Amino acid sequence: MICITKLPGALTLAEFTANPKAARPAGGGFPSAVNAQAAIFQKTLTAGFTNMYTINSTFKNTTTLYGAFAQIKNSAIRNYERRNEPSFGGRTVFAYNKKTDDKSSLQLIAGSEFQQGYFNTQVSKNKNGNPDTLQTNDDINYTTYSIFVQGDADIQASWFISAGISLNKTKVEFSRLSRYPVLQQKRSYKNELAPRISLKKVFTNDFSLRATVSRGFSPPTVAELLPSTGVISTDLEAEYGWNYEMTASYNLFHRKLRLEATGFYFKLNNALVQRRDISGADFFVNAGDVRQKGLEITGDLLISSRKGFIDYYRVNAAYTYNHFRYGSFIKGVDDFSNKTVPSVPSNTLSVLGDIQIKNGVYSNLTFYMASKIFLNDANTATADSYHLLGWRLGWKKTLKKQYKFNFYAGADNLLDETYSLGNDINAAANRFYNAAPKRNYYAGLSFQWIKAIKK
């Protein structure tokens, strides 16, 4: 995959209001985005294979091996970054399934996963969109692995119990080759146990309750440990926390309509927060803790028809309320305790409507709404709410049971709203805003060749 992205934006509110299509102007000793030819060029290649082996009627193994290579060039305001990122990994899972009686079953799963990356990042001065004098040259050795086990029990189709635990380990090593003697920095994130248990009770054929408790653990990524400032940040701590969920599900109209509501509470410790310096380079800091409370409500209506020209129509709606607040978070003289976490809207609503015609014609209508968000930890800047309407019309056709075609065309942002998306959170000089596309159109064709393998 090859991707080229030019970089407008990084605007103040006044600049965004005057001309949302503008690129960052020159200032503070830094060139404009136009003069720096700010853009990201990315090439990605991924490959892998999966083998599924049935040992016996109750025991099987699934093993996946994969590799990837990414080449990224980032012509930015302050520098020119080039990254080569080869990586590989594998995952193997053993599964045991046993049906104890007509209404009860047991499944046990155990496995492990390993990932290894050998990356190189070079940062140079940016001279009119081309690399100039080399500033830093880093080799990065990144290793992560996990071992996990899980058990799932179905008791008389009335009680469902799921319990699992994983053990995780991450190691990272940086070698700064652009200085002599070569500077090496290492960090090993200690083994972390991540347990999870879920209990579901089916009261009737249409009503059930499920409760889940889990612990999460996430060490910093390479991009967070070596951000675009070029400063190696092995002092960053891993995020971790406990999550609690309660879900109620209810079916109506002979299971044509499914309603589900989930309440959750997640306390995240050492939360990684993004910031940007005056040049637009990002870096990360650990916040004290973040308390995430919320409610998710979904509804799914599916009606199929054996008569007439309509095969089925479907409506899916989802609403989310987020109450994300910092706990104790003090950085220097700034106290952000109890402030709203930036970049997260308090309310979102999405609606999807599908109609499938029996001759292969289909139509999709989408609507998405997000309330305003705060753009900095101090909650002094906001991005306005926005409403997006999209539509797609297509035609699917299968020939000889092995060739599948899909022709489609559509439009996004039919309401032609002006809004900011991909905002630069905690940007210096209040350069938060990046314009999203206005009304735009697309068309495409997909083709699948399905070949049956004779046994």
**Selection from 280, 275, 375 nearest residue 10 by Cα:** 280
pLDDT score recorded for residue 37: 86
Q: What is the 3-state secondary structure (H, E, C) of 200-257?
A: EEECCCCEEEEEEEEEEEECCCHHHHCCCCCCCCCCCCCEEEEEEEEEEEEEECCCCE
Q: What is the C-alpha to C-alpha distance for residues 252 and 247, in angstroms, rounded to an integer?
A: 17
CA angle 379, 380, 383 (to 5 degrees): 85
Q: What is the C-alpha to C-alpha distance for residues 220 and 72, in angstroms, rounded to an integer?
A: 20
What lies within 8 Å, CB to CB, of 57 at 6+ separation is none
Q: Is 430 helix (H, G, I), strand (E, B) or coil?
A: helix
Are 312 and 326 in contact by the 8 Å Cβ rule? The answer is: no
Mean pLDDT split into 10-residue runs, the chain, 455 residues: 60 89 80 84 94 93 96 88 95 93 90 96 90 92 95 93 95 91 88 92 95 92 82 88 97 94 94 77 82 97 85 95 92 87 96 92 96 94 96 90 90 95 87 91 90 58
pLDDT score recorded for residue 341: 93
Are 256 and 227 in contact by the 8 Å Cβ rule? The answer is: no
Give Rg (Cα) of the chain: 26
At the topology level of CATH, where does 1-207+221-237 sit?
Maltoporin; Chain A (2.40.170)
Q: What is the C-alpha to C-alpha distance for residues 128 and 146, in angstroms, rounded to an integer?
A: 44
Pairing of strands 382-383, 347-357: unpaired
Which amino acid does the sequence have at 127?
K
Q: What is the largest CA-CA distance in the chain?
A: 78
CA angle 76, 80, 82 (to 5 degrees): 120
Q: What is the C-alpha to C-alpha distance for residues 327 and 345, in angstroms, rounded to an integer?
A: 18
- Chain region(s) in the chain for CATH 2.40.170.20: 1-207+221-237
Phi, psi of 203 (to 5 degrees): -85, -40
pLDDT score recorded for residue 2: 55
Question: What DSSP letter does each residue of 312-373 carry, written as one string?
Answer: EEEEEEEEEEEEEEESS-EETTEE-TTPBPTT--SEEEEEEEEEEETTSEEEEEEEEEE--E
What lies within 8 Å, CB to CB, of 167 at 6+ separation is 146, 147, 148, 191, 192, 193, 194
Per-residue tokens: 208: 């059930």
Q: What is the C-alpha to C-alpha distance for residues 376 and 341, in angstroms, rounded to an integer?
A: 8
Per-residue tokens: 136: 């830093």
Dihedral Cα 70, 76, 79, 84, nearest 10 deg: 0
Give the H/E segment covering residue 152: strand 130-155
Q: What is the C-alpha to C-alpha distance for residues 39 and 3, in angstroms, rounded to an integer?
A: 11
Give the H/E segment covering residue 117: strand 104-127
Are 265 and 244 in contact by the 8 Å Cβ rule? The answer is: yes
Are 236 and 221 in contact by the 8 Å Cβ rule? The answer is: no
Say how many C-beta atoms besides its own lie within 10 A of residue 442's C-beta.
Answer: 10
Phi, psi of 225 (to 5 degrees): -75, -30
Say how many C-beta atoms besides its own lie within 10 A of residue 98's C-beta.
Answer: 12
Are 170 and 144 in contact by the 8 Å Cβ rule? The answer is: yes
Q: Is 223 left (phi over 0), alpha (psi -120 to 50) or beta?
A: alpha
Q: Is 205 left (phi over 0), alpha (psi -120 to 50) or beta?
A: alpha
Q: Is 260 helix (H, G, I), strand (E, B) or coil?
A: strand
pLDDT score recorded for residue 454: 56
**Selection from 90, 51, 49, 42 nearest residue 69 by Cα:** 42
pLDDT score recorded for residue 453: 55
pLDDT score recorded for residue 276: 74
| CB hemisphere CA count around 24 (13 angstroms) | 32
